[in-house]
């Protein structure tokens, strides 16, 4: 990535059953999307700890994506609802911490929505480009 | 019906499940998990059935693939499930417990063990086919995977057989293959395909006798064969003009690197010789070709004139052969073939293919005159003189300028001689022969060409003498004959007196035959030393000659034939000589070795009708005709007469191919596949299986969209079937989830759903209800609106049959809140408005009014029918079908058939939805498991591994294996760079790249590397862990490492495939992903699952039909059961059911009404339970406390007298039933004439039935306790119950006036037939509205008045009723809540128990070890309850049959030092796997119950919880690596 154009770094936590499978389907379908995302597979979006979101943001990642099953589809019954509550609260706290809550995104993407996954990454990357680098990174490198 | 297993002499512990949809998978998994070997056969290339095609499922709108794919993977990887795709039952013998089944398996042409599912083959395939998976809305290739997530994750080739063109060709030229590639504009690929079988495309593109075209199906269709030969010439010409575009590699087949190094001499450089030389050279042998003439090519070069086959074209093909490393010696006549052979000569083998170059002359007077020539000599001299020269004298060429030439002979050679003479400037040329014009051996077109050029024909003549004057020819004296043909090689004719004629000429050319000069076969080479008869010794199959190492072939031994036959001989010689050289190398000379012949493939012959039908969808163009030079021009020189096809002509001509074989066998897939998985030589196989039982789950098909032609399906593009619409909605479907009109891709606004297309329709023979269409239409309407909120769906229906659990709420919400409009109506037709694509739907409302409305799109809710081929399947197995072709089960024995040991489930038994299918599949599995209980565990396989290496004291030593995946990763990601980079990462001690890391040999490599380098953590960077992790885990476990010391980096699906345009960023990302995986790997720890003790007893709560059935099913499999019933008597609600539907209203072919008496059923169950020693019944007892968890439950029950008892059990089935509703309205309980249906049934069939007096008028009122605010669900059974009772009343007294007031009649499935019968019997059905309920008042005569407002127009009607019978519905047990709390299982909104998953786990609770059945689940019929109870039993047996339970490895754990015992985790866990250990003061994980979701970990405020395999340190290490 060249220095002149800002390329955001995105960390994604994807649930094993829906969104990770959807990301695989994007590949199987050869859908192209920006290379800015690094995926970490978890069993369930409900297992996304607050620290999983905070740590990358504090260490300079430009965005964090959490992907889970659509409401009602959770392999573990209601893990995605737990994720939704947790992220909603977290977004509020982020504002208090001076972090931009737009850098955190929770999306429901099913195993058959490869196209939606690709589109989600495109959008998020574009939005983060608009938003610019995570200021934490700049501060720390100073 | 099925014999008890103990009575069988021999029981086989294996089951064959036929049909691998969701039902088949469920049955297979239940059985495999209960200790049986399962063969899961499917007629298609992948498992998954219809459910795989669905976008969403009702009533939860779950993504079908999301919920199904774990089941696919589990089935695919279960070690005791053997998947057999493309398989069909051929025959069966034996008996229940011990069947022998012959299974016919169609070839897949792809080795599933080698296929990596990468799809390179499909990208290379030139053949497109309608994609059945997308309901034909998109195209797929002939090599395809049914859907992206398919299991087996492997491609398959669809082949009807070998195309007739290939079959007709002596060399098996893949004509359809290169034709398909020409059509695709892939001319270089086409050239490669041609060369696969034929080293002489330039020659055969011009002078072949193209038997392929005679066999061409397009010819059968009547509009001329595809011009196959000319397409070959086009490709050859194109290749000549584009030498740089050709692939560097030659043909792939026949290549064998087996260190071949023989020395072979080929005598003769004609097509046979050079083909043989090419074949042997490709194998690595050193070949020298000896040619007596100064030019190579044999007859191709010196026998065929240049105007037909330019010399340069021959030379082009010859040079390609020489380029393989073949040495050519020209002007090198061989006088003694045997002398070439070692030890005296230089060669290990000699192939004599000298052709037949010697002419023959008739010994008639004058035959030896100087101007009498032989055609072979004549043509050879011309061709050797000056290839480029036009007419006119040239050195060595016979001078026949201005002469009168008569050619004697009527074949191709005669024509060639004659037309050559024309070009050399002869003044006059004639031809004479024995045959009449019509029977001349030359092609008719050749003769016409010759005549055009002025050649005179004198057919049907015999030649008596060549007349002369002074030694110069003056003519040929001939006599006309009546020629009848050749007898023993001699002509048979009568001379016709008076037809004598001397044809004047001054030059005669004999063209009456050719023979070989075999003088080079001397002595033993000719006779084998045994004294010959003048003909060479020759073995036609192997081409072996008289001496070891000597081979003969081509015209020299077969007589003159076509080029293609000589090429065939050359191929045969090459194979034979190669085999000879190999055998010789292996030991003493063995001769002749038998040649392994290619197994013939079936030929894909199209009948004339099929061919004509195919033509419709192809190019309609007539056969392409190339430009030809006019006769006047061409007769002046030797320039080529016929031009090649233009590119446009060639492509258009190729489009005329009918693709008879489907797969064109062009081999492009084979070239593309780096894994070597393609095998076109696979053939059909028949395998014999020994199984104890069969379960048939072949599934369904939807009826054809044009079953009601008046709806315009197939005529109007925007009329689609519901299955097509389902695929349109699917994100992975043809429109990527966009709702589009097929006609123009526009987004439709108004969409009409027409219900009951092919259902409830006597006129088209489909008078049953398909059960699921109302719900799937509702679902599709909702999902369509979810995709596009502008869509306005309207559902045209007769009754909405929302009878299942949760369906009514779903339907109500769709109508009330989510914008789906429901129109009760009968649609008469759909018409496309003239000049537009708008569709007019014409319909009639129930009040008889006609209406019309215009829509953008119409979806036909097509009904269900048994899958194709099921009638034949049933016939082969002797299984009875009902009159619609569904499998017939006895009324109270769902899943059984008339054949003991053969069971059915799913839509093959009746149209049904997914949960009912899953339930029935489990039920069938239960029957099989019970039948084969004695053989449980006899055929299953457990894995064996070496002991685990203790790595606890070793520092992390990570080995990294990076996969190229052919070019799938390696074509984008710079794999060597990634490997190099990985070597530098912390803890990495070894890194390498592999072509396919998943291949069998790489597994062995990984094991070796682990040992050599002391690796204790393994990272594989390749594809997705979802499909491949278990494979690699197994590999490292085999190498002595714990399976969890493994991590994967997904650099294919999530890297190379999605960043194809930029190899640099893809490589950078691959480096990051490997870094992350290595970082985590360094922190991995061995993980172990816990073994937990299993109490092999079951508890069944509830002694009604479900409980009794479940208890018997479990006990019948050898496990003890405690059956607890609250009341003092067994039977539950079944005690109050007296009658079944009359047999007349069932679609049965066999009458089993004797088995449909509910009270007899109950008596039998109670009696069997009392005889069953493994069942202990506790009457008058209630559950008051539950402790423990799966495997270790302790449940306390209390009897009426206050006594308590504790029961130990490993599993429990809750079958606590439900209650009949008690109406609070319609004067029930206040007026004696108001009764419930149940009370009516008791009056009609109960003990007091004989004293019953019927009133003359009876009104039945439906939904008096269902589908209202208080009970927002449908009770499912009431409509059928009312109809049953109405029919019974009519039976007693046909004059009784019965009126049924209803909202929707929900007689789903075959129950619809009873509804029809009731209407036929005069029962009146009137619709009322929930918003305007009937009003009941007492009448003075002691009866009642029922005032009803009729729908849809509100017309008021008052009915007199002697009785008013209320459908009171079914209500949940009030005790469910308390019982649910004790077992920690949830209730649904309606108060019934809530299963783990509405679709795929309908019998399980979310908590392990707990199951449910019967009315406790939801309202249902007797047969459905029996299926559920049996199904719940096998679900329980999957646990009971294990010696111990194994917990999962990736589960949560607690650090007690950090735990504050706050209890948040206990509340968070959906599986009740968390408890607070009050004694020790911290939380614990019940490992048997934990499912490993990690929710408790994220919820823990202290960080005391962690999830194994996803520990904080591990995730953080990945994060750090990712952020960099």
Closest CB to A86: pick one of B1492, B1498, B1520.
Answer: B1498
pLDDT band at B890 (very low <50, low <70, confident <90, very high): confident
pLDDT band at B391 (very low <50, low <70, confident <90, very high): very low
Most confident among B387-391, B729-733, B1494-1498 (mean pLDDT): B1494-1498
- pLDDT surpassing 50 at residue B1433: yes
Closest CB to A42: pick one of B119, B1494, B1499.
Answer: B1494
Give yes or no for a contact between B811 and B776, defined as CB atoms under 8 angstroms apart.
no
- pLDDT surpassing 50 at residue B1: no
CB contact under 8 A, B731 and A75: no
pLDDT band at B1452 (very low <50, low <70, confident <90, very high): very high
Strands B864-866 and B700-702: antiparallel
Within a domain: residue A20? Answer: yes
CB contact under 8 A, B1499 and A11: no
Whole-number pLDDT of residue A142: 41
- pLDDT surpassing 80 at residue B1405: yes
Q: Which residues of A touch B1029 (CB under 8 A)?
A: none
pLDDT band at A111 (very low <50, low <70, confident <90, very high): confident
pLDDT digits (tens, 9 = 90+) for B942-994: 888 999 999 999 999 999 999 998 788 998 999 999 999 999 999 999 999 99
Within a domain: residue A5? Answer: no
Chosen for mutation from B53, B58, B59, B63 (greatest number of chain A CBs closer than 10 Å) is: B63
Residue from B1161, B1162, B1351, B1371 nearest B1278 by CA: B1371
Whole-number pLDDT of residue B62: 78
Within a domain: residue A118? Answer: yes
Chosen for mutation from A21, A52, A114 (greatest number of chain B CBs closer than 10 Å) is: A21
pLDDT digits (tens, 9 = 90+) for B433-456: 999 998 999 988 889 999 999 999
Residue from B1510, B1275, B1325, B359 nearest B846 by CA: B1325
The mean per-residue pLDDT over the stretch B162-169 comes to: 96
Nearest CA in chain B to A53: B1519
CATH number at residue A16: 3.40.50
Helix, strand, coil percentages for chain B (3-state, nearest 5)? 30, 25, 45
- pLDDT surpassing 90 at residue B591: no
- pLDDT surpassing 60 at residue B732: yes
Q: Which residues of A touch B70 (CB under 8 A)?
A: 17, 75
Q: Which residues of B touch A17 (CB under 8 A)?
A: 66, 69-70
Q: How far apart are the first and last CA of chain A?
A: 21
Distance CA B1282, CA B1278 (A): 6
pLDDT band at B1408 (very low <50, low <70, confident <90, very high): confident
- pLDDT surpassing 50 at residue B269: yes
- pLDDT surpassing 80 at residue B66: no
Within a domain: residue A106? Answer: yes
Q: Which residues of A touch B151 (CB under 8 A)?
A: none
Is pTM, for the whole model, over 0.80? yes
CB contact under 8 A, A30 and B1057: yes
Asked if this assembly's ipTM is beyond 0.85, the reply is: yes
Closest CB to B1058: pick one of A33, A72, A116.
Answer: A33
Q: What percent of chain B has a predicted confidence (pLDDT) above 70?
A: 96
Whole-number pLDDT of residue B1155: 54
Domain of A38 in residue numbering reads as 10-135
Q: Quote the minimal CA–CA distance from B1497 to chain A in Å.
A: 7
Sign of the CA dihedral running B832, B833, B838, B841: negative
**Which of the 8 DSSP states describes residue B1408?**
T
Name the domain count of chain A: 1
Q: Which residues of B touch A31 (CB under 8 A)?
A: 1058
Q: Which residues of B touch A1 (CB under 8 A)?
A: 1065, 1068
Phi, psi of B460 (to 5 degrees): 55, 50
- pLDDT surpassing 80 at residue B1329: yes
Phi, psi of B1017 (to 5 degrees): -140, 140
Whole-number pLDDT of residue B392: 46
Q: Quote the minimal CA–CA distance from B1064 to chain A in Å.
A: 9
The mean per-residue pLDDT over the stretch A31-42 comes to: 96
Whole-number pLDDT of residue B1173: 97
- pLDDT surpassing 80 at residue B395: no
- pLDDT surpassing 70 at residue B766: yes
- pLDDT surpassing 70 at residue B1317: yes
CB contact under 8 A, B1493 and A47: yes
**Number of residues that make up chain B:** 1524
Higher pLDDT, B309 or B1001: B309
Whole-number pLDDT of residue B1257: 96
Q: Quote the minimal CA–CA distance from A16 to chain B in Å.
A: 8
CB contact under 8 A, A43 and B1507: yes
Whole-number pLDDT of residue B1154: 52
Distance CA B1117, CA B1094 (A): 16
The mean per-residue pLDDT over the stretch B74-89 comes to: 94
Whole-number pLDDT of residue B678: 97
Whole-number pLDDT of residue B1150: 62
B64-77 and A19-28 helices, crossing angle to 10°: 80
Whole-number pLDDT of residue B1406: 82
pLDDT band at B253 (very low <50, low <70, confident <90, very high): very low
Chosen for mutation from B56, B117, B1022, B1058 (greatest number of chain A CBs closer than 10 Å) is: B1058
Give yes or no for a contact between B511 and B455, defined as CB atoms under 8 angstroms apart.
no
Within a domain: residue A75? Answer: yes
Whole-number pLDDT of residue B102: 98
Q: Which residues of A touch B735 (CB under 8 A)?
A: none
Q: Which of residues 126-155 of B touch A (CB under 8 A)?
A: 148-149
- pLDDT surpassing 50 at residue B529: no
pLDDT digits (tens, 9 = 90+) for B1165-1206: 999 999 999 999 999 999 999 998 899 999 999 999 999 999
Whole-number pLDDT of residue B926: 97
Whole-number pLDDT of residue B3: 39
Whole-number pLDDT of residue B592: 61
Within a domain: residue A142? Answer: no
Q: What percent of chain A has a predicted confidence (pLDDT) above 90?
A: 63
Give yes or no for a contact between B1510 and A43, defined as CB atoms under 8 angstroms apart.
yes
pLDDT band at B1407 (very low <50, low <70, confident <90, very high): confident
Say if B1137 is an interface residue toward chain A (CB within 8 Å).
no
Say if B106 is an interface residue toward chain A (CB within 8 Å).
no
B1509 CB contacts (<8 Å, ≥6 apart)?
Answer: B1044, B1084, B1087, B1449, B1450, B1492
Say if B1058 is an interface residue toward chain A (CB within 8 Å).
yes
CB contact under 8 A, A28 and B1053: yes
- pLDDT surpassing 60 at residue B755: yes
Say if B1495 is an interface residue toward chain A (CB within 8 Å).
yes
pLDDT digits (tens, 9 = 90+) for B340-378: 998 888 999 999 999 999 998 899 999 999 999 999 999
Nearest CA in chain B to A122: B1058
Distance CA A64, CA A37 (A): 9
CA distances from B1287 to B248, B564, B1028, B1314, B1442 (A): 81, 78, 59, 8, 49
Q: Which residues of A touch B1519 (CB under 8 A)?
A: 11, 40, 52, 55-56, 59, 61
Q: Which residues of B touch A28 (CB under 8 A)?
A: 119, 148, 1053, 1057
Q: Which residues of B touch A69 (CB under 8 A)?
A: 63, 66
Higher pLDDT, B255 or B219: B219
CB contact under 8 A, A51 and B1512: yes
Whole-number pLDDT of residue B776: 97
pLDDT digits (tens, 9 = 90+) for B1347-1359: 999 988 889 999 9
pLDDT band at B536 (very low <50, low <70, confident <90, very high): confident
Q: Quote the minimal CA–CA distance from A3 to chain B in Å.
A: 14
Give yes or no for a contact between B704 and B723, defined as CB atoms under 8 angstroms apart.
no
pLDDT band at B1010 (very low <50, low <70, confident <90, very high): very high
Q: Which of residues 1393-1432 of B touch A (CB under 8 A)?
A: 1406
- pLDDT surpassing 50 at residue B251: no
- pLDDT surpassing 50 at residue B715: yes
pLDDT digits (tens, 9 = 90+) for B450-498: 999 999 999 999 999 999 999 999 999 999 999 998 888 788 999 999 9
Q: Quote the minimal CA–CA distance from A96 to chain B in Å.
A: 20
Q: Which residues of A touch B1516 (CB under 8 A)?
A: 51, 55
For chain B, the average pLDDT equals 92
Within a domain: residue A48? Answer: yes
Say if B842 is an interface residue toward chain A (CB within 8 Å).
no
Whole-number pLDDT of residue B396: 65
The mean per-residue pLDDT over the stretch B151-176 comes to: 95
Within a domain: residue A73? Answer: yes
pLDDT digits (tens, 9 = 90+) for B1245-1256: 888 888 888 999
Chosen for mutation from A59, A111, A121, A122 (greatest number of chain B CBs closer than 10 Å) is: A111
CB contact under 8 A, B148 and A111: no
Q: Which residues of B touch A141 (CB under 8 A)?
A: none
B671 CB contacts (<8 Å, ≥6 apart)?
Answer: B124, B192, B247, B249, B252
CB contact under 8 A, B1059 and A31: no
- pLDDT surpassing 70 at residue B1052: yes
Q: Is B290 helix (H, G, I), strand (E, B) or coil?
A: strand
pLDDT digits (tens, 9 = 90+) for B1483-1520: 999 988 898 999 999 999 989 999 999 999 999 999 99
Q: How many CB pairs under 8 A join A and B?
A: 178
């Amino acid at each position: 990535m060249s220095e002149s154009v800002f390329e955001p770094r995105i960390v994604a936590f994807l649930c094993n059953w829906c969104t990770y499978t959807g990301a695989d389907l994007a590949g199987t379908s050869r859908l192209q999307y920006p290379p800015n995302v690094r995926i970490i597979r978890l069993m369930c979006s409900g297992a996304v700890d607050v620290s999983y979101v905070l740590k990358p943001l504090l260490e300079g990642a430009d965005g964090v994506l959490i992907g889970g099953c659509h409401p009602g589809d959770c392999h573990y019954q209601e893990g995605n609802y737990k994720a939704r509550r947790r992220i909603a609260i977290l977004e509020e706290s982020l504002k208090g911490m001076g972090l931009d809550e737009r850098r955190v995104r929770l999306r429901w993407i099913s195993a058959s929505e490869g196209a939606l996954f690709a589109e989600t990454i495109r959008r998020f990357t574009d939005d983060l480009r608009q938003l610019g680098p995570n200021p934490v990174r700049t501060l720390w490198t100073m | 019906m099925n014999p008890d297993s103990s009575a069988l002499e021999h029981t086989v512990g294996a089951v064959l499940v036929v049909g691998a949809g969701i039902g088949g998978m469920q049955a297979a998994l239940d059985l495999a998990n209960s200790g049986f070997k399962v063969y899961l056969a499917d007629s298609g290339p992948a498992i998954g059935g219809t459910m795989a095609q669905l976008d969403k499922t009702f009533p939860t709108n779950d993504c079908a693939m999301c919920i199904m794919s774990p089941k696919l993977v589990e089935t695919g990887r279960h070690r005791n499930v053997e998947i057999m795709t493309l398989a069909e039952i051929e025959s069966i013998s034996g008996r229940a417990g011990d069947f022998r089944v012959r299974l016919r398996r169609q070839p897949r042409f792809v080795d599933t063990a080698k296929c990596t599912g990468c799809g390179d083959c499909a990208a290379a395939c030139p053949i497109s086919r309608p994609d059945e998976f997308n309901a034909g809305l998109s195209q797929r290739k002939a090599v395809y995977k049914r859907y992206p997530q398919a299991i087996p994750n492997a491609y398959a080739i669809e082949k009807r057989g070998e195309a007739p063109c290939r079959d007709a060709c002596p060399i098996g030229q893949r004509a359809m293959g290169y034709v398909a590639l020409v059509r695709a504009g892939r001319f270089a690929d086409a050239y490669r395909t041609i060369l696969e079988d034929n080293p002489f495309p330039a020659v055969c593109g011009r002078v072949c006798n193209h038997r392929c075209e005679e066999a061409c199906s397009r010819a059968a269709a009547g509009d001329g064969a595809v011009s196959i030969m000319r397409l070959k010439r086009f490709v050859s010409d194109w290749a000549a003009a584009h030498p740089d575009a050709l692939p560097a590699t030659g043909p792939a087949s026949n290549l064998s690197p087996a260190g071949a190094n023989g020395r072979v001499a080929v005598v003769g450089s004609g097509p046979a010789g050079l083909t043989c030389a090419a074949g042997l050279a490709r194998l690595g042998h050193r070949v020298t070709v000896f040619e007596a003439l100064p030019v190579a090519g044999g007859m191709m070069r010196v026998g065929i004139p240049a105007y037909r086959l330019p010399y340069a074209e021959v030379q082009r093909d010859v040079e390609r052969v020489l380029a393989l490393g073949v040495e050519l010696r020209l002007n090198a006549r061989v006088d003694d073939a045997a002398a070439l052979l070692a030890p005296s000569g230089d060669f290990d083998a000699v192939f004599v293919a000298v052709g037949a170059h010697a002419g023959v002359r008739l010994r008639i007077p004058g035959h030896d005159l100087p101007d009498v020539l032989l055609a072979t000599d004549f043509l050879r001299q011309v061709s050797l003189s000056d290839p480029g020269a036009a007419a006119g004298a040239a050195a060595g060429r016979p001078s026949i300028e201005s002469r009168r030439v008569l050619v004697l002979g009527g074949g191709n050679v005669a024509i060639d001689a004659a037309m050559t003479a024309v070009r050399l400037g002869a003044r006059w040329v004639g031809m004479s022969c024995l045959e009449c014009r019509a029977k001349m051996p030359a092609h008719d077109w050749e003769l016409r060409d010759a005549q055009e050029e002025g050649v005179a024909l004198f057919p049907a003549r015999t030649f008596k003498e060549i007349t002369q004057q002074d030694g110069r020819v003056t003519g040929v004296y001939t006599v006309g004959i009546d020629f009848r043909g050749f007898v023993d090689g001699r002509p048979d004719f009568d001379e016709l007196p008076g037809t004598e004629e001397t044809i004047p000429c001054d030059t005669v050319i004999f063209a009456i035959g050719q023979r070989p000069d075999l003088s080079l076969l001397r002595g033993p080479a000719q006779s084998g030393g045994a004294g010959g008869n003048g003909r060479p010794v020759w073995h036609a199959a192997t081409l072996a000659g008289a001496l070891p190492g000597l081979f003969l072939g081509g015209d020299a031994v077969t007589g003159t034939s076509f080029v293609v036959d000589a090429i065939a001989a050359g191929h045969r010689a090459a194979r034979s000589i190669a085999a000879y050289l190999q055998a010789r190398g292996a030991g003493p000379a063995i001769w002749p070795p038998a040649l392994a012949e290619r197994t013939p493939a079936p030929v894909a012959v199209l009948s004339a009708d099929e061919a004509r039908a195919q033509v419709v969808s192809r190019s309609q163009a007539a056969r392409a005709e190339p430009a030809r030079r006019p006769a006047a021009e061409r007769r002046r020189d030797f320039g080529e007469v016929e031009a090649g096809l233009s590119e446009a002509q060639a492509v258009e001509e190729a489009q005329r191919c009918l693709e008879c074989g489907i797969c064109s066998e062009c081999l492009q897939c084979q070239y593309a596949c780096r894994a070597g998985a393609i095998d076109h030589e696979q053939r059909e196989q028949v395998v014999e299986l020994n199984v104890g039982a069969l379960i048939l789950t072949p599934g369904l098909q939807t009826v054809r969209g044009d079953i009601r032609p008046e709806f315009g399906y197939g005529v109007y593009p925007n009329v689609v079937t519901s299955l097509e619409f389902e695929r349109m909605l699917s994100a992975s479907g043809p429109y990527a989830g966009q709702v589009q009109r097929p006609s123009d891709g526009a987004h439709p606004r108004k969409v009409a759903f027409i219900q009951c297309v092919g259902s409830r329709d006597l006129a088209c023979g489909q008078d049953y209800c398909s059960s699921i269409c109302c719900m799937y239409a509702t679902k599709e309407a909702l999902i369509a609106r979810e995709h596009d909120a502008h869509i306005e769906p309207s559902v045209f229906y007769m009754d909405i049959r929302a009878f299942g659990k949760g369906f009514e709420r779903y339907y109500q919400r769709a109508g009330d809140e989510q914008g789906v409009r429901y129109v009760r109506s009968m649609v008469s037709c759909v018409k496309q408005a003239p000049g537009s694509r708008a569709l007019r739907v014409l319909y009639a409302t129930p009040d008889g009014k006609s209406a019309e409305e215009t829509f953008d799109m119409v979806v036909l809710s097509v009904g269900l029918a048994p899958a194709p081929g099921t009638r034949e399947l049933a016939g082969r197995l002797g299984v009875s079908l009902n009159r619609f072709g569904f499998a017939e089960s006895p009324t109270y024995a769902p899943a059984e058939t008339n054949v003991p040991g053969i069971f059915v489930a799913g839509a093959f038994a009746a149209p049904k939805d997914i949960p009912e299918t899953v339930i029935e599949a489990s039920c069938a599995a239960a029957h099989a498991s019970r039948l084969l209980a004695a053989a449980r565990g006899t055929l299953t396989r457990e894995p064996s591994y070496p002991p685990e290496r203790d790595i606890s004291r070793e520092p992390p030593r990570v080995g990294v294996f990076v996969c190229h995946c052919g070019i799938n990763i390696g074509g984008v990601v710079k794999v060597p760079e990634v490997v190099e980079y990985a070597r530098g990462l912390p803890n990495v001690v070894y890194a390498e790249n592999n072509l396919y890391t998943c291949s069998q040999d790489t597994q062995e490599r990984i094991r070796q590397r682990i040992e050599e380098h002391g690796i204790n953590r393994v990272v594989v960077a390749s594809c997705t862990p979802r499909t491949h992790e278990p494979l690699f885990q197994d590999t490292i476990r085999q190498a002595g490492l714990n399976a969890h010391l493994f991590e994967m980096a997904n650099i294919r699906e999530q890297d190379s495939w999605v960043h194809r345009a930029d190899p640099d960023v893809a490589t950078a990302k691959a480096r990051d992903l490997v870094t992350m995986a290595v970082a985590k790997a360094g922190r991995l720890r061995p993980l172990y699952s816990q073994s937990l003790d299993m109490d092999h007893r079951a508890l069944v709560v509830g002694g009604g039909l479900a409980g009794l059935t479940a208890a018997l099913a479990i006990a019948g499999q050898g496990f003890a059961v405690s059956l607890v019933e609250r009341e003092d008597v067994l039977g539950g609600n079944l005690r109050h059911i007296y009658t079944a539907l009359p047999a007349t209203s069932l679609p049965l072919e066999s009458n089993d009404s004797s088995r449909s008496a509910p009270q007899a059923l109950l008596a039998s169950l109670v009696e069997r339970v009392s005889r069953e020693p493994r069942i202990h019944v506790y009457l008058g007892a209630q559950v008051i406390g539950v402790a423990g968890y799966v495997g270790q439950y302790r449940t306390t029950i209390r009897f009426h007298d206050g006594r308590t008892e504790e029961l130990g059990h490993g599993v429990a089935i809750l079958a606590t039933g439900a209650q009949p509703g008690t109406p609070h309205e319609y004067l029930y309980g206040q007026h004696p004439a108001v009764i419930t249906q149940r009370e009516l049934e008791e009056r009609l069939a109960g003990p007091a039935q004989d004293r019953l007096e019927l009133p003359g008028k009876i009104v039945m009122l439906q939904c008096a306790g269902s589908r209202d605010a208080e009970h927002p669900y449908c009770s499912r059974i009431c409509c059928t119950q009312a109809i049953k009772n109405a029919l019974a009343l009519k039976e007693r007294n046909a004059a009784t006036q019965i009126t049924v007031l209803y909202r929707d009649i929900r007689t789903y499935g075959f129950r619809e037939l009873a509804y029809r019968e009731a209407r036929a019997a005069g029962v009146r059905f009137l619709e009322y509205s929930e918003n305007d309920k009937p009003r009941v008042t007492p009448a003075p005569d002691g009866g009642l008045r029922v005032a009803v407002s009729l729908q849809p127009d509100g017309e008021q009607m008052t009915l007199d009723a002697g009785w008013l019978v209320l459908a009171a519905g079914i209500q949940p047990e009030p005790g469910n809540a308390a019982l649910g709390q004790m077992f920690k299982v949830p209730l649904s909104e309606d108060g019934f128990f809530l299963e783990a998953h509405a679709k795929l786990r309908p019998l399980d609770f979310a908590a392990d070890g707990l199951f449910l059945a019967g009315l406790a689940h939801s309202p249902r019929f007797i047969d459905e309850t029996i299926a559920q109870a049996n199904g719940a039993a096998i679900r329980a047996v999957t646990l009971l049959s294990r010696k111990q339970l194994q917990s999962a490895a990736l589960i949560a754990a607690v650090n007690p030092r950090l735990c504050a015992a706050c209890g948040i985790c206990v509340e968070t866990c959906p599986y009740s796997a968390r408890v607070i250990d009050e004694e020790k003061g911290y939380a614990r994980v019940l490992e048997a119950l934990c499912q490993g979701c990690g929710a408790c970990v994220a919820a823990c405020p202290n960080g005391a919880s962690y999830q194994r395999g996803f520990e904080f340190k591990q995730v953080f290490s990945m994060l750090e690596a990712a952020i960099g």
